[in-house]
């Protein structure tokens, strides 16, 4: 089997056999097939797509390229959540405690932020003392004891994806449905959960801007989950504005605590309750969504989720008094209010630009090795549909260096568009696929 022939076959629109896909991925990972041939194949996939059997074979090869985590020593149905990435997506910090308080084991592996999207690990590390380096035994023991643990990604989970993603990133082939689906699902399946809830973001802060594309991706991923015996549900959610108010690490921890106290932003609260309800159904705690929603509300508004968050922080070495003392979180040196240059109703917010502004302030990384300033970020004070008059406060920035602040103020101001017409608040949850 010549690699040349496999590439040509895909280029001409034929389906590859499982053996051909195996040869490509194995050869790529062991270094016998060079980047340029895999790049050509990825571009052929970009144009020709893949059928269901091919996507399944690719996902399988990605999974077996590295380790799979065995969570079988954890009692109960393990349910994992994945978000396709957004701006100010504080969800995991709130959702984990709600679901764990309701009795579902959450054994979560999370990432650090890169580019305009943040990462849960950075957010958690802004809590003094909190650490994410647990041994496998500690991780499993903690989930059995308190139902919730979060660790950083281990090195050898789906190495084929690390290599392929890096190549796609520089060859304009990231945006291919089968490649995204197999990349995400291989990592979720290798991470060991029995069931998966996917939050597929769509809109100008998301990876897929177009709703139909997001729906198609969600369908492909749900189908893949089923193929690998993972009960999978996807919801499509709106990322045309940042989620909640806070964008930035300790600001988002603060927002998560407020949300767990029942005082958080409406959209973040709603999304967490919705995801939790699906997780209760997937974990067979409740028979139907409506019952799951009731349980989620009980955990949130009855205070059990907040207590769970404190227990979780303590278990991972963090200072749980943060719940009552937000001042112990890293604080930026300065704050400046950003005012509106216009009057009218807010029509849109360039969400990716807000994410980029937060990154430029120091809340995120443009390169893997950048160091995050945990206290800096943006508080969004006006969202789509709000009426503002000139000089009203749109947002606040928290920063350490004046030079960076001066750079982002015009970016944030320009991210907002206004209209004289009344604008309805956009729906948050657009579709459920199962």
Could you list the active site residues? Answer: 82, 161, 168, 183, 187
Among 173, 183, 241, 269, interactor with ligand URA by CB under 6 A:
183
- Give 178 or 292: the residue with its C-beta nearer to ligand URA: 178
Q: Indicate the SS3 state at residue 317.
A: coil
- Compute the distance between CA of residue 125 and CA of residue 112 in angstroms, rounded to an integer: 10
Identify the three-state secondary structure at position 387. Answer: strand
CB nearer to ligand URA: pick between 177 and 388 = 177
Choose the contact partner of 398 out of Ca ion, ligand URA, none; CB within 5 to 8 A by kind. none
State whether residue 393 is helix, strand or coil: strand
Q: Which of 3, 43, 184, 233 binds ligand URA (CB under 6 A)?
A: 184
Query: Exposure of 157 by Cβ count < 10 A (0-12 exposed, 13-18 middle, 19+ buried)?
Result: buried
Q: Which stretch binds ligand URA (CB under 6 A): 63-71, 175-183, 208-216, 259-267?
A: 175-183
Closer CB to ligand URA, residue 200 or residue 299? 200
Among 102, 113, 225, 244, binds Ca ion (CB under 5 A): 244
Cβ distance to Ca ion smaller for residue 88 or 178: 88
Distance CA 361, CA 133 (A): 27
- In angstroms, rounded to a whole number, what is the distance separating the alpha carbons of residues 238 and 143? 31
Stretch that binds ligand URA, among 139-147, 174-182, 270-278, 340-348 (CB under 6 A): 174-182
Which one, 174 or 211, has the nearer CB to ligand URA? 174
Binding status of residue 180 toward ligand URA by CB under 6 A: yes
> Considering CB under 6 A, how many residues would be counted as binding ligand URA?
7
Give DSSP secondary structure letters for 238-260.
Answer: E-SS-SSSEESHHHHHHHHHHHH
CB of 283 or CB of 375, closer to Ca ion:
375
* Minimum distance, C-beta of residue 267 to ligand URA, in the bound complex (Å): 22
Site for ligand URA in 187-216 (CB under 6 A): 207
Q: Could you say whether residue 246 binds Ca ion (CB under 5 A)?
A: yes
Of 2-10, 176-184, 192-200, 413-421, which part binds ligand URA (CB under 6 A)?
176-184
The tokens for 93 are 């910090």
Q: Which does 33 bind (CB under 5 to 8 A by kind): Ca ion, ligand URA, none?
A: none
Going residue by residue from 328 to 347, which x/- string records binding to ligand URA, judged by CB under 6 A? --------------------
Give Cα separations from 262 to 280, 298, 310 (angstroms): 20, 11, 15
| CB 356, CB 204: distance < 8 Å | no
Shortest spacing between CB 191 and ligand URA, in angstroms: 12
250's contact among Ca ion, ligand URA, none, with CB below 5 to 8 A by partner kind, is none
Virtual torsion, Cα 237, 239, 244, 246, nearest 10 deg: 140
Kindly state the tokens that stand for 249.
């690490």
Residue 180 interacting entry, from ligand URA, Ca ion, none, C-beta within 5 to 8 Å by type: ligand URA
Alpha helices in 235-389 (DSSP H): 249-260, 266-282, 289-301, 304-315, 351-358
Rg (CA), the chain: 22
Cβ of residue 55: shortest distance to ligand URA, in angstroms?
A: 13
Contact segment (CB under 5 A) with Ca ion among 24-32, 80-88, 156-164, 285-293 equals 80-88
Q: Residue 369 class from Cβ within 10 Å (0-12 exposed, 13-18 middle, 19+ buried)? A: exposed
Pull the structure tokens for residue 156: 């050898």
Instruction: Report how far residue 253's alpha carbon sits from residue 151's, in angstroms, rounded to the nearest whole number.
Output: 17
Of residues 129 through 168, those in contact with ligand URA by CB under 6 A are: 165
- Virtual torsion, Cα 326, 328, 334, 339, nearest 10 deg: -10
Query: Residue 129 and residue 124: Cα distance in Å, rounded?
Result: 10
88 interacts with, out of ligand URA, Ca ion, none, CB within 5 to 8 A per kind: Ca ion
Query: Minimum distance between the CB of residue 207 and ligand URA, rounded to whole angstroms?
Result: 6
* Residues 88-107 as x/- pattern, contact with Ca ion by CB under 5 A: x-x-----------------
Nearest to 312 by CA among 74, 100, 88, 77: 100
3-state secondary structure of 398: strand
Q: Which residues bind Ca ion (CB under 5 A)?
A: 88, 90, 243-244, 246
Residues that bind ligand URA (CB under 6 A): 165, 174, 179-180, 183-184, 207
């Amino acid at each position: 089997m010549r690699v040349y022939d496999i590439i040509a076959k895909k280029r001409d629109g034929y389906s590859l056999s499982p053996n051909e896909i195996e040869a490509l991925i194995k050869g790529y990972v062991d270094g016998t097939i060079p980047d340029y041939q895999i790049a050509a194949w990825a571009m052929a996939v970009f144009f020709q797509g893949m059928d269901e059997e091919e996507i399944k074979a690719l996902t399988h090869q990605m999974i077996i390229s590295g380790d799979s985590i065995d969570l079988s020593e954890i009692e109960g149905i393990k349910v994992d959540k994945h978000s396709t990435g957004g701006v100010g997506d504080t969800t995991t910090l709130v959702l984990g405690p709600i679901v764990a308080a309701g009795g579902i084991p959450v054994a979560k592996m999370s990432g650090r932020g890169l580019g305009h999207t943040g990462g849960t690990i950075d957010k958690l590390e802004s809590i003094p003392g909190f650490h994410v380096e647990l041994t496998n035994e500690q991780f499993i023991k903690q989930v059995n004891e308190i139902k919730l643990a979060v660790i950083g990604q281990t090195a050898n989970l789906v190495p084929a994806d690390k290599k392929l993603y890096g190549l796609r990133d520089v060859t304009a082939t990231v945006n291919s449905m089968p490649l995204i689906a197999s990349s995400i699902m291989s990592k979720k399946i290798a991470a060991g959960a029995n069931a998966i809830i996917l939050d597929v973001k769509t809109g100008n802060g998301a990876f897929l801007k177009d709703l139909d594309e997001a729906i198609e991706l969600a369908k492909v991923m749900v189908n893949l989950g089923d193929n690998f015996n993972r009960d999978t549900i996807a919801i499509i959610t709106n990322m045309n504005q940042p989620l909640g108010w806070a964008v930035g690490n300790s600001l988002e921890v603060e927002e998560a605590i407020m949300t767990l106290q029942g005082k958080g932003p409406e959209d973040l609260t709603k999304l967490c309750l919705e995801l939790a309800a699906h997780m209760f159904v997937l974990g067979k705690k409740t028979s139907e969504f409506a019952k799951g929603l009731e349980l989620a509300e009980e955990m949130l508004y009855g205070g059990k989720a907040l207590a769970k968050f404190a227990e979780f922080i303590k278990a991972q070495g963090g200072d749980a008094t943060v719940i009552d003392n937000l001042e112990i979180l890293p604080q930026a040196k300065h704050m400046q209010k950003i005012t509106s240059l216009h009057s009218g109703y807010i029509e849109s917010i360039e969400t990716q630009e807000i994410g980029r502004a937060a990154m430029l302030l120091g809340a995120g990384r443009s390169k893997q090795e950048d160091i995050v300033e945990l206290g800096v970020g943006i508080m969004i004070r006006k969202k789509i549909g709000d009426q503002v008059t000139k000089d009203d406060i749109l947002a606040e920035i928290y920063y350490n260096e004046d030079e960076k602040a001066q750079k982002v103020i015009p970016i944030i101001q320009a991210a907002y568009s206004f209209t004289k017409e009344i604008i309805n608040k956009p729906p948050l949850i657009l579709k459920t696929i199962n």
